[in-house]
Amino acid sequence: MELTGKPSVDKPWLKYYDKNAIKDDLPENTIYGYLVENNKDYPNRVALNYFDRKIKYKELIDNIDKTAKALLNFGVKKGDVVTISTPTLPETIYLFYAISKIGAIANMVDPRTSVEGIEDYVNEAESKLLFIVDVAAEKAKNIKEKTSVEKVIAISPADSLPFGLNYGYRAKEFIESIKEKRDNFFKKNECYTWNEFFKEGNIYVDNEEYIEYKKDIPVAIVHTGGTTGRPKGVLLSNDNLNAAAYQCKVAGFDFKREHNWLNIMPPFIAYGIGNGLHLPLICGMEVILIPQFDPKTFEDLLIKYNPNHMTGVPSHYGYIINSKKLDNKDLSYIIAPTVGGDKMDEELEKQTNEFLKNHNCKYKVTKGYGMTEVNAAVAACTSNENNEIGSVGIPFSKTIISIFDPETREELGYNQVGEVCITGPNTMLGYFKNQEETDKIIIEHNDGKKWVHSGDLGYMTEDGKLYIKDRIKRMIIRHDGFKVFPSEIEKIISTHPSVKDCSVVGVPDLEHAQGKVPKAYVVLKSKFYDENKVKDEIFYLCSQKLAEYSQPDDLEYKTSLPLTSIGKVDYHSLEKEHEEKLKEKNIAKQKILK
C-alpha cells in the first residue's frame, strides 16, 4: 500500500500484527466478567502468589464473590465510590473486582498520601466506605468528622500471609501498636478489621444487585502523578481496562497460562492496576504480589521467583545490571522485561540489553508508552523485530497514534517532531468531576476523532515505530526563542563513564529578562571521583556533541535524584529546589546591601 504520509491513515504498524489482532472484536464484559470467563476452565491453576501462599483461581473468584456480598451488606450501591488506600494485597484485588461486579467505582489512593490528601480524595468522590492499610490507618483517625466516610476498614498485610509469617507479623504489629498508642483507634466502633468486614460476605443478601455489562460503565478512579500540579482523578471504564489488556494479550508477546508475572507496580496507578494486574490475570498467569517493592531487592526477587514477565520503570534496571548476585546466573526464563512509566535513557537501555544477552535472555528490554489518561500502555516493543534503541515501540492493534503540530493541530508527516496524540478504546471517560480539564486534553480534530493530547513531543517513522523526545512542559525555551530538549543533554551526559544518573531541568536565565537555561543534576558512580575534573569533562563533551544553545549552563552534583512514588525522576522537585536556593541567595544579598 502506498503511504499517504499521515500515520493515522496509513497505520504502518499494523504490518506487525496478525489479522485476528486487527479484526477481532474487543471484549464486551465487566472486568469481573472478563476475569471469570477467561479462567472458568482452570479453577486449580495458581492465580496469586503472596509470600509463597498460593491462591488458586477458584479461591480468588470465591473471595471476590464473598467480598461483593460484604460490600452490599455494608450498603454499597451501583455507582457508589469506594476508596481503597492499600498496596498490592490479595484483599486489594478481591475489592477491585468485587466493586466491578456490583457496579460501584474503586477510588484508588496511594496510602503514602498525606492526611489532607486522603481527605480531599474521599470528599471529592463522596465515599462512604474507606479501606486503608493498617500501618496508615492513623491517617483516618478523624476522617469521619471531616469527610463523607461512614465506615473505615483496616486491612493488615498479615491477613493473607501463610501461618508462620502471619504470626511473626502479628507479634511485631502488636508491639508497634503499643508503642504508637493506636489501641483506641482499632476498637470496633471506630474501625472494622478486614476479617470483620469479610464475615459479612457469609450473610445472605436479598436482591443481590450484580450488574449486567453495559458500555462505558465507570469502574475505577486513578490519580495522575501530580509532578506538574495537583493530581486529577482519571475515570476509567470496564471497557478501558479490558481493551488495554486484550490488546496486550494479542500483540505478539509470548504470553502463556503457564507463565508467572512479577507484579512490582502499585495498584493505585493505571500502569499497576491495568498492565501489572488485570492483564496477567485475564491471561490466566500466576501473579507474584510484592506489596512494597524496594529496587535494591530486585535481584533477590529474580533469583527466588524466576519470573517470565514483569513490569517496572527504567530506574529499576539500573539496580540489576551491575548485580554481583546475578553473576553467572541464567536469566533465560525472562520473556518480557517490561519498562514503562518514563522514557528510558538510551545508554541504560544498551547496558540492560547487553546484560540480558550475557545472561542468556533472548529478549531485549521491552519498552512501552502510555499515560494514565489512556489507562497506561498504548504502544510497546512487541518483539525484537520492532524493538530499536530509543523507540517505545508500535501502537497497539486497536489504537491510533499520530503526531500533530501543537499549535495548529495539523497532522505531521513521518519523522517530524510534534505532539504525540492518541485515539482508541483505552481513552478515559474523563477527569472525575472536572469537565474543564477534560476538554483541554481530549480534543475533537477535523477528522471527527477525539484525540488525547499527551503533552509529549515525539515522532513516528515510516514503519510505525514511535520515538519520544521530551515533555512539552519540560522543553526549555531560551531568551532568544531557541528550544532545548533536556533529554538530548541527558543522553550525552550519560555517556560519560563516571556518570551513574543525570537529569536536566530549565532554570531562570539571570542574564536576561525572560527565558530559561538548562541546568544538569548529576549522580556519580563513586564518591572518590575528582568532581571538578569530571565537571570539566562533561562540559567539554557537551560542547563537542551539542549545539551551542543546547549546552548546560550549570551542573550540580547530587547523591541521588528525587523520584516520584513510582520511580520517575521528579523534575518538579529539582526545579523547586533551585528556586529555593535562588530565594536564599537573594535574601542574603539584600541583607548585605542593608
Supply the pLDDT for residue 583.
86
Cell of 132: 486503608
Q: Is residue 154 predicted with pLDDT exceeding 90?
A: yes
Average pLDDT (421-445) is 96
Class of domain 482-593: alpha beta
Which has the minimum average pLDDT: 126-135, 193-202, 207-216, 513-522? Answer: 207-216
* DSSP state letter for 452: E
The secondary structure of the chain in percent helix, strand, coil, rounded to multiples of 5, reads 35, 25, 40
Query: Cα dist. 494→311, 337, 533 in Å?
Result: 24, 22, 16
- Residue 187 pLDDT level (bands cut at 50, 70, 90): low
Measured CA to CA, the distance from residue 518 to residue 18 in angstroms comes to 45
- Residue 226 pLDDT level (bands cut at 50, 70, 90): very low
Of 153, 109, 156, 99, residue with least CA distance to 131: 153
Supply the pLDDT for residue 201.
79
Average pLDDT, the chain: 90
pLDDT greater at residue 593 or residue 220: 220
Average pLDDT (222-229) is 64
Q: Is residue 177 predicted with pLDDT exceeding 60?
A: no
Measured CA to CA, the distance from residue 64 to residue 281 in angstroms comes to 13
Measured CA to CA, the distance from residue 127 to residue 92 in angstroms comes to 17
Supply the pLDDT for residue 322.
84
Could you give the 3-state DSSP secondary structure of residue 183? helix
Average pLDDT (509-525) is 89
Average pLDDT (509-513) is 83
Name the percent of the chain lying above pLDDT 90: 72
Mean pLDDT comparison of 215-229, 342-356, 423-437, highest-scoring range: 423-437
Measured CA to CA, the distance from residue 531 to residue 125 in angstroms comes to 50
Measured CA to CA, the distance from residue 285 to residue 46 in angstroms comes to 7
Element (DSSP H or E) covering residue 393: strand 391-395
Supply the pLDDT for residue 195.
93
What are the backbone dihedrals phi and psi of residue 179, each rounded to the nearest 5 degrees, phi first? -60, -40
Measured CA to CA, the distance from residue 364 to residue 352 in angstroms comes to 8
Measured CA to CA, the distance from residue 406 to residue 509 in angstroms comes to 25
Supply the pLDDT for residue 209.
65
The residue extents of the domains of the chain are 482-593
